[in-house]
Amino acid sequence: MKERIVLAYSGGLDTSVAIGWIADATGAEVIAVAVDVGQGGESLETVRQRALGCGAVEAYVADARDEFANEYCMPTLKAGALYQNHYPLISAISRPVIVKHLVKAAKQFGATTVAHGCTGKGNDQVRFEVGIQTLGPDLKCIAPVRDLALTRDKAIAYAEEKNLPIETTKKNPYSIDQNVWGRAIETGYLEDIWNAPTKDIYSYTDSPEFPPAPDEVTITFKEGIPVAIDGVAVTPLQAIEQLNRRGGAQGIGRIDMVEDRLVGIKSREIYEAPGAMVLMEAHKHLENVTVEREQARFKATVSQRWSELVYDGQWFSPLKRSLDTFIEDTQRYVSGDIRMELHGGRAVVNGRRSDTGLYRFDLATYDTGDTFDQSSARGFIDIFGLTSKVATERDERVAGEAK
Ligand code: ARG
């Protein structure tokens, strides 16, 4: 029996050509695996037929949209994870779910190797291969673009020569990765980091410059997860999709940054994540009402570390799992409503209510009804400031003796 290789298939030119390219280079049979994480565009059946038309012996397609929203986007929301304070980990969180389906397909079809279309310069190769090593330790990995010298020009020539059912003329100057959590755009003109992004690169967001009328939205959360929008029950997937539309119409969630890749390169990235950024903003404000101060302060550190681990391809690592347990515990009371206005590129929270909050009107008020005992404040401050006071006295004494 011929060796079998499972290929992470996107339906695009590179991975379509990779089917035959891998078969030629290795003599193996190629099984194409396409995973729907809400990237939109073509139907899974169209993608499946194209893979078969390009020479795959089998084509496996998985609708992982709800799985991705529930098990990958929601943990990112609960973590409040923004890599380098900006990037909501769009591509980084899609790789582990794709890996799960690749490993499952490899087992199902008796494949020994998994292939992906990443280059040798990015984070995604690491995320795929670390994930595969972890979930399928017996599987080998190959990357035709990186390991089998499949360049874009060769891909076009190969597709034309073999008459593959894929368009080769449409030259997209950007490298784009998208899913329901957002869209990542890089390379080409954007590699000059002084160049402002041009309007044509965006597709999830309209320009915030000329927004439609303000859109007021109420998001209901239960234990850190959106469960209703404007009083109508939604699944996590529906919440993200709806806020992609409503936030996108207001131009919310455009991000332009230079980020630190794991391989040591700084790279210019443009993201658009309207639904994710609206949800993160709402969630953060509900945490402000419901999470105890010391837990909240510590969670900021955990959130940053969680983002770095996930960015670095450590989704399945023990530390990430331990941090998940902490984060999950902090979400116990993150329930209630956030009212916000979406307008002109911004999502501004202007109301919050929670039955499990820690906000106490009787403690906060300066009006009648105040139950806070202000006479306790003096003694508290005396003791709270004591260590600094003692140290300063010491500093002055030592400085005086040195004269
Ligand atoms: N730089 C981002 C990350 O590492 C996005 C990568 C997107 N991939 C792509 N082929 N455009 O998560």
Structure tokens that stand for 270 in this block = 């443009």
Catalytic residue list contains 14? yes
Asked if residue 33 belongs to a domain, the reply is yes
Ligand 1 atom index nearest CA of 175 = 11
Asked if residue 117 belongs to a domain, the reply is yes
Asked if residue 315 belongs to a domain, the reply is no
**CATH code, domain carrying 398:** 1.20.5
Judged on CB neighbours under 10 Å (0-12, 13-18, 19+), 353 is middle
Statement to judge: residues 67 and 153 lie in one domain: yes
Asked if residue 240 lies in contact with residue 275, where contact means CB atoms within 8 angstroms, the answer is yes
Asked if residue 278 lies in contact with residue 308, where contact means CB atoms within 8 angstroms, the answer is no
Which of these ranges, 111-125, 153-167, 324-338, has the smallest mean pLDDT? 153-167
Asked if residue 307 belongs to a domain, the reply is no
Statement to judge: residues 344 and 383 lie in one domain: no
Please report the pLDDT score of residue 170 as a whole number: 65
Q: Is the CB–ligand 1 distance for residue 186 below 6 Å?
A: yes
Biggest alpha carbon distance in the chain? 89
Please report the pLDDT score of residue 168 as a whole number: 77
Statement to judge: residues 143 and 275 lie in one domain: no
pLDDT, tens digit (0-9, with 9 covering 90-100), for 216-246: 999 999 999 999 999 999 999 999 999 999 9
Asked if residue 91 lies in contact with residue 64, where contact means CB atoms within 8 angstroms, the answer is no
Q: Is 9 annotated as a binding residue?
A: yes
Structure tokens that stand for 192 in this block = 């000059």
Which pTM value belongs to this model? Answer: 0.97
C-alpha to C-alpha distances, 88 to 78, 80, 210, 275, 304, nearest whole angstrom: 12, 8, 25, 11, 11
pLDDT, tens digit (0-9, with 9 covering 90-100), for 282-328: 999 999 999 999 999 999 999 999 999 999 999 999 999 999 999 99
**CATH code, domain carrying 74:** 3.40.50.620
Statement to judge: residues 207 and 341 lie in one domain: yes
Asked if residue 378 belongs to a domain, the reply is yes
Catalytic residue list contains 175? yes
Asked if residue 312 belongs to a domain, the reply is no
Statement to judge: residues 89 and 113 lie in one domain: yes
Give the mean model confidence (pLDDT) for residues 38-52: 95
pLDDT, tens digit (0-9, with 9 covering 90-100), for 3-27: 999 999 999 999 999 999 999 999 9
What is the distance of C-alpha 157 from the center of its chain?
Answer: 34
Asked if residue 277 belongs to a domain, the reply is yes
Side-chain-side CA neighbours of 386 within 13 Å: the count stands at 6
Catalytic residue list contains 177? no
Report d(CA 1, CA 72) in Å as an integer. 37
Statement to judge: residues 50 and 113 lie in one domain: yes
Of the listed 4, 66, 146, 175, which one is catalytic?
175
Host domain of residue 187: 176-291+333-353
Beta-strand relationship, 113-115 and 140-142: parallel
Mean pLDDT score across all residues of the chain = 97
Q: Is 336 annotated as a binding residue?
A: no
Statement to judge: residues 219 and 164 lie in one domain: no
**CATH code, domain carrying 265:** 3.90.1260.10
Statement to judge: residues 285 and 207 lie in one domain: yes
Statement to judge: residues 112 and 191 lie in one domain: no
Of the listed 36, 65, 94, 124, which one is catalytic?
124
Give the mean model confidence (pLDDT) for residues 46-72: 97
Ligand 1 atom index nearest CA of 83 = 12
Ligand 1 atom index nearest CA of 91 = 12
Statement to judge: residues 185 and 118 lie in one domain: no
Mark which of 133, 154, 171 sits at the end of a domain. Answer: 171
Which conformational region is residue 55 in: left (phi greater than 0), alpha (psi within -120 to 50 degrees), or beta? Answer: left
Q: Is the CB–ligand 1 distance for residue 177 below 6 Å?
A: yes
Statement to judge: residues 210 and 155 lie in one domain: no
Other beta carbons within 10 Å of 80: 22
| Residue of minimum CA distance from atom 1 in ligand 1 | 269
Please report the pLDDT score of residue 1 as a whole number: 83
Q: Is 123 annotated as a binding residue?
A: yes
Asked if residue 319 belongs to a domain, the reply is no
Mark which of 137, 156, 171 sits at the end of a domain. Answer: 171
Catalytic residue list contains 322? no
**Total number of domains in the chain:** 3
Asked if residue 35 lies in contact with residue 64, where contact means CB atoms within 8 angstroms, the answer is yes
pLDDT, tens digit (0-9, with 9 covering 90-100), for 126-172: 999 999 999 999 999 999 999 999 998 999 999 999 999 998 776 67
Statement to judge: residues 250 and 278 lie in one domain: yes
Instruction: Report the percentage of the chain scoring pLDDT > 70.
Output: 99
